């Protein structure tokens, strides 16, 4: 697929998807969401990709929300299609058996905050701003904002943001646990790549099992969640990477994981 709204590169095992409509502050239209889904599927299928970064082009925005121009003229059937495509794509990112980081380089509003929350981690520049301003447009978050935000930062704070429509700066987002790290704008990509490359060097099957246990154990009753963890953990014992990791520890050397 040829991309018109995103850039897609892979370097040293790290895929980088860049939202690329800077004139519209990288607002997410349905074409861009389709391209995102295609690129994430390619990451899932390619064993050489071991980690994923999502970011925005330009200095102002990660994604300034769903494209309001496109949304304004949507018939309910088109809106439903766009919403389902968004849900499918964000869930694909969330459940990708590889780690993902959103490098948030400016505005991440509405669908922008929602896209960042589908990633495993959020690294922000000092000028990043978050929020769910949908209420100001007469609607509510449509890509998981009412669900992922409350799980990440708690119900009271999520209600303040979703019902109040206000924005959080990077520091506040860090304080409430929405953001993992904050960097000066000029260092954001370099630091995010450094961490993504570290993740790309981890044993892929253990990464996959860790994400599976975290993602799918979260909503289970505790005994079932622990059982899921036991099953995911015990499966790691079938890998050569576990042998390599434990042998390397005992031989006091760095492990060389091969993904087997
Ligand atoms: N959509 C379309 N264009 C946008 C945009 C957006 N979300 N955000 C910015 N732009 C465009 C502006 O119209 C402007 O275009 P020109 O006038 O130059 O042609 C250009 O980007 C630069 O923006 P500004 O001139 O406004 O720049 P400022 O620095 O003054 O302000 C801002 C930056 C981010 C504070 C401001 O642009 C802003 O408030 N933007 C809108 C933020 C927002 O409300 N985002 C949408 C949230 S709602 C669903 C699916 C998804 C969703 C819901 C339902 N279904 C299918 C049912 C999700 C909804 C949302 O995300």
Which residues does 181 contact at the CB level (< 8 Å), separation at least 6? Answer: 123, 124, 174, 191
Give, as one character, the DSSP assignment of residue 27.
-
Distance 177 CA to ligand 1 centre (A): 25
- Of 11, 75, 84, 134, catalytic: 134
Quick count: other Cβ atoms within 10 Å of Cβ 257? 20
Position in ligand 1 atom list of the atom nearest CA 140? 53
Please write the tens of the pLDDT for every residue from 183-215: 999 999 999 999 999 999 999 999 999 999 999
Distance 201 CA to ligand 1 centre (A): 37
What pLDDT sits at residue 44? 98
Strands (E), 75-135: 100-104, 107-109, 121-125, 129-131
Domains and CATH numbers, the chain: 6-200 (3.90.226.10), 204-250 (1.10.12.10)
Any bridge partners for residue 167, and if so which? 131
Give, as one character, the DSSP assignment of residue 47.
T
Please write the tens of the pLDDT for every residue from 3-39: 999 999 999 999 999 999 999 999 999 999 999 999 9
Please write the tens of the pLDDT for every residue from 143-162: 999 999 999 999 999 999 99
Look up 114 and say whether it is catalytic: yes
User: Going by CA atoms, what residue is nearest to atom 53 of ligand 1?
Assistant: 142
Ligand 1: residues with CB < 6 A are 24-25, 27, 64-69, 79, 82-83, 86, 107, 109-111, 133-134, 137, 139, 142-143
Distance 101 CA to ligand 1 centre (A): 23
What pLDDT sits at residue 99? 98
What pLDDT sits at residue 84? 97
In the chain, what percentage of residues exceed pLDDT 70?
100
Look up 134 and say whether it is catalytic: yes
- Beta strands at 129-131 and 107-109: parallel, antiparallel or unpaired: parallel
What pLDDT sits at residue 78? 94
Which residues does 35 contact at the CB level (< 8 Å), separation at least 6? Answer: 1, 3, 4, 5, 6
């Amino acid at each position: 697929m040829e991309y018109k709204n995103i850039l897609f590169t892979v370097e040293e095992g790290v895929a980088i998807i860049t939202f690329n409509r800077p004139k519209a502050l990288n607002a997410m239209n349905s074409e861009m969401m389709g391209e995102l889904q295609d690129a994430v599927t390619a990451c899932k299928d390619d064993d050489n990709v071991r980690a994923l970064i999502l970011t925005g082009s330009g200095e102002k925005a990660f994604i300034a929300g769903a494209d309001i121009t496109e949304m304004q003229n949507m018939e309910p059937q088109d809106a439903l299609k766009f919403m389902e495509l968004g849900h499918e794509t964000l869930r694909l990112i969330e459940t990708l058996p590889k780690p993902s980081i959103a490098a948030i380089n400016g505005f991440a509003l509405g669908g922008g905050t929602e896209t960042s929350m589908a990633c495993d981690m959020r690294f922000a520049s000092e000028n990043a701003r978050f929020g769910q301003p949908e209420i100001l447009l007469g609607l509510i978050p449509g890509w998981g904002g009412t669900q992922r935000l409350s799980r990440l930062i708690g119900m009271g704070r999520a209600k303040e943001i979703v019902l109040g429509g206000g924005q959080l700066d990077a520091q506040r987002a860090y304080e409430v646990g929405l953001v993992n790290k904050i960097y000066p704008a000029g260092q954001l990509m370099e630091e995010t790549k450094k961490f993504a490359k570290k993740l790309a060097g981890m044993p892929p099957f253990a990464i996959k099992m860790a994400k599976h246990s975290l993602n799918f154990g979260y909503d289970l009753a505790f005994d079932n969640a622990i059982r899921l963890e036991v099953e995911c953990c015990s499966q790691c014992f079938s890998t050569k990477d576990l042998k390599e990791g434990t042998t390397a520890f005992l031989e006091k050397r760095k492990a060389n994981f091969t993904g087997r």
